[in-house]
Chains A and B, each alone.
Chain A
Amino acid sequence: GESVGLHLPTLSVQEGDNSIINCAYSNSASDYFIWYKQESGKGPQFIIDIRSNMDKRQGQRVTVLLNKTVKHLSLQIAATQPGDSAVYFCAENTVAAGNKLTFGGGTRVLVKP
């Protein structure tokens, strides 16, 4: 079936540096692509989403880039902080089908002081 996957399982980054988390997807019919953050022992928390007809969207310290040509999604975190240490998931959303999400496998980000 259709799936969303990630290139890197673990990313170590120095505090203050920028982080880039990558994701490959396979379903071209998805309406939105979404990034979630999951801290240990907690449920996923929404970070940012991007509509399929856009190629870039910025939030507070985060930027999501969408390249539909190669079916690639990335999340950039500026000035990474210790509180950014978590597992990050990309997901794709199909609005018409009950707002369902299909999740990728996750990337763990470790911020070194």
Chain B
Amino acid sequence: NAGVTQTPKFRVLKTGQSMTLLCAQDMNHEYMYWYRQDPGMGLRLIHYSVGEGTTAKGEVPDGYNVSRLKKQNFLLGLESAAPSQTSVYFCASSPHGRGRAQPQHFGDGTRLSIL
């Protein structure tokens, strides 16, 4: 049971380059999320999706785009990477709440450095 899988695990980019981070979940969850975690800090929500074909902005969306073309995949794109985007990126998924909180299941992160 893989759960939430993120690829790649590590990446180094130069300023101005673009890349896409892939998140895949095999739990048939409706909701998916992208967070970033900076050193010594908690996670901050970048974008999220409540279903296939839908996306919404989180707390820190600037500089990122997302797509949810398939229910099991959630892509995070950096069109023109900046040093301020150096961080660890976590993807998570959860079932629909149905009126109560549902635990989010996290991947193990992508460590991204922008030089």
Interface of A with B (CB < 8 Å)?
1, 4, 9, 31-32, 34, 41-46, 49, 51, 89, 91, 93, 95-96, 98-106
On whether A99 and B104 interact (CB within 8 A), knowing A43-B90, A43-B92, the answer reads: yes
- Give the shortest distance, in Å, between B4 (CB) and chain A (any CB): 7
- Whether, in the assembled complex, B106 has its beta carbon less than 8 Å from a beta carbon of chain A, the answer is yes
- Give the shortest distance, in Å, between A9 (CB) and chain B (any CB): 8
Which of chain B's residues has its CB closest to A105's CB?
Answer: B42
Beta-carbon contact of B106 and A44 below 8 Å: yes
* Docked complex Cα distance between A46 and B92 (Å): 11
Across the A-B interface, how many residue pairs have beta carbons closer than 8 Å? 73
Which residues from 37 to 80 on chain B have a C-beta closer than 8 Å to any C-beta of chain A?
Answer: 40-45, 48, 50, 56, 58-59
* Docked complex Cα distance between A42 and B107 (Å): 8
On whether A103 and B44 interact (CB within 8 A), knowing A31-B101, A34-B103, A43-B109, the answer reads: yes
Residue contacts A-B, CB under 8 angstroms, 30 given? A1-B59, A31-B101, A41-B109, A42-B108, A43-B90, A43-B107, A43-B109, A44-B106, A49-B103, A51-B100, A89-B42, A91-B42, A95-B97, A95-B101, A96-B97, A98-B31, A98-B48, A99-B94, A99-B97, A100-B45, A101-B33, A101-B104, A103-B35, A103-B42, A104-B42, A105-B40, A105-B42, A106-B40, A106-B41, A106-B42
Interface of B with A (CB < 8 Å)?
4, 31, 33, 35, 40-45, 48, 50, 56, 58-59, 90, 92, 94, 96-97, 99-109
- Give the shortest distance, in Å, between B56 (CB) and chain A (any CB): 7
Beta-carbon contact of B102 and A99 below 8 Å: yes
Beta-carbon contact of B101 and A105 below 8 Å: no
Beta-carbon contact of A100 and B58 below 8 Å: yes
